[in-house]
Structure 1
Amino acid sequence: MTKYAYGHQVIGELHKLAPKHLAYEGDPIGLQVGNLALPVEKVMVVLDVLEPVVDEAIAKGVQLIIAHHPMIYRPLKNIDTATSQGRMIEKLLRHNITVYAAHTNLDIAKGGVNDWLAEALHLEQTSLLQVTAKETLYKLAVYVPTTHVEEVKEALAAAGAGHIGDYSHCTFSSEGTGTFKPLEGSQPFLGSQGDIEHVREVKLETVLPSNRLSRVLSAMHNVHPYEEVAYDVYELQNEHKTYGIGIVGTLHEALSFDAFIQHVKGTLGVASLRAVKGHDRLIKKVAVVGGDGNKFIHAALAKGADVLVTGDLYYHTAHDAQYAGLSVVDPGHHIEKIMKPRLCEYLQKALAGHYATEVMASTQSTDPFTFH
């Protein structure tokens, strides 16, 4: 097997885990530098795109970098190659390395960064800390001649319709008689112009999420034999996928504050951390937000958390948490490095058997802090 995936094919697999529509509004995710239309022999997953990381990618012959933190977070006023950022961009372009960022969409995704952190902390009975989006469900009902039911059914399933939990190809069929009269200018699949036609048809019903609607309708039109397809689309009130930021879960056994700090150090691989003690209770219920968790103090309190584990905590927010009775543990933003091996594992499985493209994690530490 010598065929390499193109950049857009690798990113297509990434989006199955972390769709772009999950990202916060204004979050500059997506293509940062380069061209996704080129073949990719090697992919490198990184937390931050810094000059040493780019040098590592060059040395290892990488064509695509997938980063958690966007390298261009604010619009550039210039590209000065006398600066580290300018040199980095110059190196990326010179060596045809494409950079793509999956940030808050990877945080929010089911099986994404915050889920990985919760697993690392051995949290049980987990739920979302704060809901950010609920996916709308639609029902599609399309009328198909009996000769083409299976073909249409397969096309709908391949486009993303009929998926309920761990089941695919979920449909319901009812048979009846369809009538139509082809008028002048029509090119009917069945019947003749000017004559009313009676056809045995199947009403094929299935469900689909809102983000798949255009794709499913396109697939339906592509395989349906009729010149004019009769179909209905209904918005449903059924509870479907809910997305959010942060995870709340419980420890198997309650721990003292000091013991919990050691638990965080050991499970997240940090030598030191900052902590705010907000009460004298044992720690049982834990909230975790990998990045900046300053906006989630009240959400953690509302969920009954004893402690919030977060990558960034402001001085005055620490006071707010302490006097509200919430303990906080801040092991640093760099704990999101957990995405490197986990996203590598996901992409390797997604590409295996189809492409010879290799996926690796950057070995560079991008944590700027040292403690003395």
Structure 2
Amino acid sequence: MIVNDVIKHLEALAPLEYAEDFDNVGLLVGDKNSNVSGILVTLDTLESVVDEAIEKNCNLIVSFHPIIFKGLKKLTGKTYVERTVLKAIKNDIAIFAIHTALDNALLGVNDIICNTIGLKSKRILLPKKGTIKKLTTYVPNENTETLRKALFQAGAGNIGNYDNCSFNSEGIGTYKGNENSNPTLGEKGKLHSEPETQVSVTFNTHVENKVLNALFKAHPYEEVAFEVATLDNYNQTIGMGMVGELEVPQNSNDFLKFLKTTMNVSCIRHSEITKTQVKTIAVLGGSGSFAIGAAKASGADIFVTSDLKYHDFFSAEGQIILADIGHYESEQFTKNFLVDYLSKKITNFAVVLSTTNTNPVKYS
């Protein structure tokens, strides 16, 4: 097994195309064609984690957070980032970071939180825009069904709970090939009219290459006329945060105690308890102050997130309870999830859970 084999499994779970623009995801250190001796999964990659990888004979670290976030101009070992990268390079250890790609994944960070605290009827809090594309092409009527099936198999035509979705309109296509052409139908140098079907299908951005390859393989024409457009629709299966429901409403204070225990949190910073009971819960792992407005608009009774500043708590305005459980704490179960996921995909290969506690925040 090589590093790229592991990357393919991770990108199937959380396509890197959906990571935020500010982020730095993917293979940060190492050669994707290197053979893998072992995989260590961690929340953060620090020097101590690289030491653990060396000790456990793992030459690939799968990290949630990227150790290289801003550009590195020097590698002198002056900072913890430089020292970590240098140690990884010296010991031929590759580092892959998944971060906001997994934040935005349907079965990612926020789904993990929802499942941990037992939420049902889950939906994306902030659906991502610009991740749905539409392919339009024209095909002879007799080849329409074959082409549609090929596009569907490549991942096109899936919308929410539906698949095999397309729009089809019949008309007449015309063309005249020059002396270098080799038309499938008609003769070169002669104007040809052909009954054709305009086929339109939507697809998620990350499968564009597969869809286009299927188009070119299944289409009978020498030259395929097509266009791809990015839609403004919000993608209900990709985005930050989630909203879910408790099976039974809980007293607000009791829920905070439950949250503290279930999420293994030392303390919870929260806004004023303005609701007697909570049932609808919004969650967003990591720094979530930017989503307070969306959480309020969703009708959530409480918003569970982290890194809230003093003035952020005023934004509750009596409409919602804001609960800051800590950055590390909100994402801590991510590495367990990734170990389970990779272990199921790579059944004959050891995937190791890092035991290094990388939380930089301590409580007294």
Q: Give TM-score, length-normalised by structure 1.
A: 0.82
SS at match of 2:333: helix
SS at match of 1:28: coil
Q: Who is 1:16 aligned against?
A: 12
SS at match of 2:332: helix
The residue type paired with residue 334 of structure 1 is Y
Contact 2:19 2:101 in 1 (8 A): yes
Measure the CA separation in 2 of the matches of 1:293 and 1:193.
61
Q: Who is 1:304 aligned against?
A: 299
Alignment of 1:326 with 2:334, yes or no, is: no
Measure the CA separation in 1 of the matches of 2:350 and 2:267.
34
Contact 2:131 2:230 in 1 (8 A): no
Shift, 1:224, TM fit: 3.8
Q: Who is 2:82 aligned against?
A: 86
Q: Who is 1:317 aligned against?
A: 312
Say if 1:187 and 1:228 are closer, same or farther in 2 by CA, change over 3 A: same
Measure the CA separation in 1 of the matches of 2:298 and 2:170.
49
Q: Give TM-score, length-normalised by structure 2.
A: 0.84
Equivalent of 2:26 in 30, 38, 52 = 30
Alignment of 1:368 with 2:360, yes or no, is: yes
Say if 1:41 and 1:204 are closer, same or farther in 2 by CA, change over 3 A: farther
Equivalent of 1:125 in 121, 124, 139 = 121
CA RMSD across the alignment: 3.3
Contact 1:114 1:288 in 2 (8 A): yes
Which region of structure 1 is more displaced relative to structure 2, 240-249 or 24-33?
A: 240-249
Which region of structure 1 is more displaced relative to structure 2, 81-90 or 257-266?
A: 81-90
Contact 1:248 1:286 in 2 (8 A): yes
The runs of 5 or more residues in structure 2 that have no matched partner are none
Measure the CA separation in 2 of the matches of 1:280 and 1:177.
63
Contact 2:14 2:105 in 1 (8 A): yes
Measure the CA separation in 2 of the matches of 1:215 and 1:371.
49
Alignment of 1:284 with 2:279, yes or no, is: yes
Measure the CA separation in 2 of the matches of 1:173 and 1:216.
17
> Could you list the per-position Cα deviations for residues 292-349 of structure 1 after superposition, in whole angstroms to 9, with x for gaps in the alignment?
122233332233332221122223323x146545323222111202111212222333
Shift, 1:178, TM fit: 7.3
The residue type paired with residue 163 of structure 1 is N
Alignment of 1:67 with 2:63, yes or no, is: yes
Say if 1:322 and 1:215 are closer, same or farther in 2 by CA, change over 3 A: closer
Say if 1:283 and 1:359 are closer, same or farther in 2 by CA, change over 3 A: same
Say if 1:308 and 1:42 are closer, same or farther in 2 by CA, change over 3 A: same
Q: How does 1:143-292 map to 2 (within 5 A)?
A: 143=139, 150=146, 152=147, 155-165=150-160, 181-189=176-184, 192-194=187-189, 203=197, 205=199, 207-209=201-203, 211=205, 212-231=207-226, 241=236, 243-292=238-287
Measure the CA separation in 2 of the matches of 1:237 and 1:53.
42
Say if 1:180 and 1:303 are closer, same or farther in 2 by CA, change over 3 A: closer
Identity, in percent, stands at 36
Measure the CA separation in 2 of the matches of 1:301 and 1:175.
47
Say if 1:247 and 1:165 are closer, same or farther in 2 by CA, change over 3 A: closer
Measure the CA separation in 2 of the matches of 1:348 and 1:192.
56
Say if 1:64 and 1:158 are closer, same or farther in 2 by CA, change over 3 A: farther
Contact 2:174 2:192 in 1 (8 A): yes
Which region of structure 1 is more displaced relative to structure 2, 227-236 or 293-302?
A: 227-236
Measure the CA separation in 2 of the matches of 1:73 and 1:277.
35
Which region of structure 1 is more displaced relative to structure 2, 189-198 or 23-32?
A: 189-198
The runs of 5 or more residues in structure 1 that have no matched partner are none
Which region of structure 1 is more displaced relative to structure 2, 17-26 or 115-124?
A: 17-26
The residue type paired with residue 186 of structure 1 is S
The residue type paired with residue 161 of structure 1 is A
Contact 1:126 1:249 in 2 (8 A): yes
